[in-house]
A and B are shown apart, each in its own frame.
Chain A
Amino acid sequence: MITEEIGALSDTVEEAAPVEACTKCTACNTVCPVARSTEIFRGPKFLGPESERYRSQPEAAVTAGLDLCSGCKLCEVTCPSQVTIQEYIRRAQNKGAQEKGRTLRDWVLGHTRLLSRFGSMTAPLANFGNRNPAVRWLMERVLGIHRERPLPRYQWLTFERWFKRHPHPANARRTVAYFYGCWVNYNERRLGEQVVAILERNGIDVIVPKQQCCGIPAVVNANMDLARTYGVENVRRLSGLPADVDIIASSTSCGLMLKHDYSHLLDIPGAEQVGARVYDICEYLWMLHEAGELNRDFQPVKTRLLYHAPCHLKSHGIGYPAMRLLRLIPGVELEEVDEGCCGISGTFGVKVEKYDLSMKIGSRLFAAVKAAGSDAVLADCETCRMQVEHGTGSHSAHPIDILARAYGHG
């Protein structure tokens, strides 16, 4: 039973849960992967709604412990009263950074797009440096990037530039816009190529509007102003698309920013209308399937796969469309490995003081993946894939990779 605030004195129930809706049930603390792994973290209940009652605009922010929140949002997924626990933590952390400043490292990690652009432009050198122990030692000392954390490999040819030369198909039934995100653009162009090929296989023309970083690295590195700047730019560009053009994202967290966080956490005007048009790639393909429009001309793919559901996918509230889709492919053996958060949480597990914690959070997943054995571990989120590969030595891929193979685009 959700009880409205008595002050309103009407029978219309508030849809957004205020901080008073928290009943202190502690459900969030029990599922929090960080609280499970370190006793120094006081948990989402305390840092979110409980502390929120004592926070006010004129007072200085109390930030102790806030940086240990990895931003996985499982607390919000779990809350039976729909309290926006994460948003309280992020706002307080952001206010603290505004008052006290932030580290160079957090500034850099918040500017993922800038960093990736630089990495891509200098690809051979950047990749060499990222794998060179001396450089990594220096990066750890100067920047606070843990030396054992594998960093993504940059590619010189970006997805943007690849797509410019990509010919559009004739006779498309409809058009979608692809929000490819920084990862596809600078690190895994192949995934973007597969997304385009699969959509085209289904008679859909893909357009790629000019876009900015979705802003999630900035949000989790306490730079909400930067995230809002990015978000405003993206909303402006995506709002300009024709009304019948849906927006597709292949990164779980970029998609969640566009769908939900722009309008809620960042309060960007017009974001709600854009968010309502955004679909995760697998969510979209499953909709095609239900409408009888999915091309099911699949070649068998004989493979044994595990699926790890990213925490942010749970926040989408769409179930696991990737599992449904892949089960349509003959030969695919697919099992879910349900061991919760992988621990990396974007840039969280990259940081020198968080690396060990990040690996400890993921240890249950790593053990289960190793015990089950598979040809690949699938995850929709790129940093989950990095973490699974690092923690288990197994190959990890986006579910789209298997679908592309079934279409002969492997």
Chain B
Amino acid sequence: MKADIAVVGSGLAALIATRTLQQAGRSPLLIWPGLTSLYFTYATVDVLGYADPTTAEPVEQPEAAIGQLIADHPDHPYALAGLDALRDGTALLIDWLRAAGFTWQGSLARNLLLPTAIGTPKPSCLVPASMAAGDLRRDEPIVFCGFAGYQDFVPELAASNLSRWWGRGDQAVRAIRVPLPGFDGTRLFTSIDLARSFEDDGFRREVAGRIRQQIPADGVRIGVPAVLGLTHDMDVHSGFMAEVGHPVFEIPTLPPSVLGLRLFDRLRKHIQESGVEIIWAAPAHAAEVSGGRCDRIFLKSAGREQPIDARAYVLALEDTVDGALRAGVHTVSDPFFHRSLASHAVPTERTDESLFNPQPFASIGYPVTDRLQPRDDEGGPLAGNVFVAGGAIAGYDPVGSKSRGGLAIATGYRAAKEAMAA
């Protein structure tokens, strides 16, 4: 099949690249290898949370901190993509979110500091409006509210962790639990099941009433797991808040991510309805290169390999979840150019024993040129019309630095611009 520009991937980088191309009047073809990282990750847009991985000092002003990062590390993917790509890409995302019916808050100028499900602080840049009231730089007391039988959010744990470091006094953090109608403890359920139940007005009102009974005092805000609706989440959130009678904020929980589902499903639908074709369920896995350009890539479609002939390609892959990189025992290779991206004497070299330490595998990926083309050993591009975006770029740890979203935006935007010029 022929295409103008093929974008491979399904995460935020792929969506940003596709939208950038569409806005510029080009015809992108979006190729989906399977579900996106947005289903697993936090789904807030984290631009830069920690500039120095050795300290626990969160970044307050991401735009300024990235300026400094670029000056200090000219090889960092942020430096390659450029600060303008981050600014323009972020503006594009904010417009798009609005057009797709979302209300989000935040700006590149300042990070919010939001509580996680275990009560630790996490710096995020752009967040859904339903999370914003959790900002820990504000002083109102917090009541963490869990739901009986729901195992992915333990309000007592969140409260005890938060009160340990927050410094707002003993009375500032509390935990409560309420039972849910219809979830009697015999049934296994996930955050998705709860989110669907919250779309039912009767269910939502009943739960709101039970919370209100437990919180007589005014002047508190209530943190609940992010389960307030899937498709009509903004109505659910505002209705619920009015019924509870206090500000309510959502806290992301373990996968599957309700926040990620909302974001991905709506942006995907929006872009599809505006005329972008998506090829579902077709992992892309080989590139044919001649004369310094990629002639075609191959998809594993039912029955046979399907060639996609495009003028340019954006490989907006996510490394760990969509098969972008293939890890053997000793080497990690890429499925397109079949190059070794990392090699290890033993597989354990690419992991750290402590789960919460920076993991070496997180920064494995394609080395790229200053135009985000995958690079050969001599430093030149492997193919002049292929551009990499998102987590598959080597040399940064999106998890440890809390920069996955910002890099997806900056590299997705820049790769799309380069692809148009290629």
Interface residues of chain A, those whose CB is within 8 Å of chain B, are 1-4, 6, 8-13, 25-27, 29-31, 36, 39, 42, 76-82, 256, 258-260, 275-276, 278, 286-287, 290, 314-320, 323-324, 335-336, 338
Contact = CB atoms under 8 A, between A and B. Distances in A.
Contact of B323 (A8, A12, A77, A80): A80
A318 B273 contact: no
B330 A11 contact: yes
B3 to A, nearest CB: 10
Contact of A3 (B40, B193, B327): B327
B327 A82 contact: no
A276 B29 CA distance: 23
A137 to B, nearest CB: 34
B238 interface: no
A13 B279 contact: no
B323 A30 contact: no
Nearest to B320: A1
Contact of B280 (A1, A77, A259, A335): A77
A36 B278 CA distance: 23
Interface string B303-337: 11010000000000001111111111111110000
B326 A13 contact: yes
The winner among A31, A81, A82, A317 for most chain B CB atoms within 10 A is A317
Give me the 7 closest cross-chain CB pairs, A-B, nearest first: A259-B303, A317-B282, A317-B301, A11-B328, A80-B34, A260-B302, A275-B303
Given A259-B302, A275-B303, A4 B327 contact: yes
Contact of B301 (A1, A2, A318, A320): A318
B283 interface: yes
Contacts of A9: 329
Interface in B183-224: 187-190, 192-193, 196
Given A25-B35, A318-B282, 13 more contacts: A2-B326, A4-B329, A10-B329, A11-B328, A13-B326, A29-B192, A30-B256, A77-B281, A80-B35, A315-B302, A317-B280, A317-B306, A319-B29
B302 A1 contact: no
Nearest to B195: A30
Contact of A276 (B2, B39, B303, B323): B303
Interface of B: 1-2, 29, 33-36, 39-40, 187-190, 192-193, 196, 255-256, 261, 269, 272-273, 277-283, 299-304, 306, 319-333, 347, 361
Nearest to A247: B303
Contacts of A290: 1-2
A315 B280 CA distance: 7
13 contacts: A2-B323, A4-B327, A25-B255, A30-B192, A39-B187, A79-B35, A80-B321, A260-B303, A275-B303, A315-B280, A317-B282, A318-B282, A319-B280
A314 to B, nearest CB: 4
Contacts of A29: 190, 192, 256
A319 B326 contact: no
B279 to A, nearest CB: 4
Given A316-B302, A324-B277, A1 B187 contact: no
A317 B279 contact: yes
Contacts of B29: 319
Contacts of A10: 328-329
B34 A78 contact: yes
B70 to A, nearest CB: 28
Nearest to A23: B321
B261 A30 contact: yes
A76 B32 CA distance: 12
Contacts of B327: 1-4, 13
B270 to A, nearest CB: 10
A317 B281 contact: yes
The winner among B34, B35, B303 for most chain A CB atoms within 10 A is B303
B303 A1 contact: no
A286 B1 contact: yes
Contact of B255 (A26, A42, A77, A286): A26
Nearest to A4: B328
Nearest to B270: A338
A109 B31 CA distance: 36
Given A76-B281, A286-B1, A317 B328 contact: no
A317 B320 CA distance: 22
A285 B129 CA distance: 47
B361 A1 contact: yes
Contacts of B329: 4, 6, 8-11
The winner among B273, B304, B306 for most chain A CB atoms within 10 A is B304
B193 A78 contact: no
Contacts of B302: 256, 259-260, 275, 315-318
B35 A27 contact: yes
A87 to B, nearest CB: 13
The winner among B196, B281, B320, B323 for most chain A CB atoms within 10 A is B281
Contacts of B319: 1
Contacts of B325: 1-2
A318 B307 CA distance: 10
Given A30-B261, A259-B302, A336 B2 contact: no
Contacts of A6: 329, 347
Contacts of A27: 34-35, 39-40, 256
A323 B189 CA distance: 38
A80 B192 contact: no
Given A319-B277, A335-B273, A338-B272, A80 B322 contact: yes
Given A25-B255, A29-B192, A318-B279, A80 B306 contact: no
Nearest to A291: B2
The winner among A29, A31, A278, A318 for most chain B CB atoms within 10 A is A318
Contacts of B321: 1, 25, 80
Contacts of B2: 290
A27 B331 CA distance: 28
B272 to A, nearest CB: 6
Contact of B34 (A12, A81, A275, A323): A81
B1 A319 contact: yes
A39 B203 CA distance: 15
Nearest to B33: A80
Nearest to B258: A30
A206 to B, nearest CB: 20
Contacts of B283: 82
Contacts of A275: 302-304
Given A1-B323, A80-B34, A319-B29, A276 B304 contact: yes
B39 A25 contact: yes
A20 to B, nearest CB: 14
A77 B283 CA distance: 10
A81 B278 CA distance: 19
A12 B303 contact: no
A315 B302 CA distance: 7
A358 B193 CA distance: 19
Contacts of B188: 42
A39 B193 CA distance: 8
Given A314-B281, A317-B281, A320-B277, A12 B1 contact: no
B323 A81 contact: yes
A42 B189 CA distance: 9
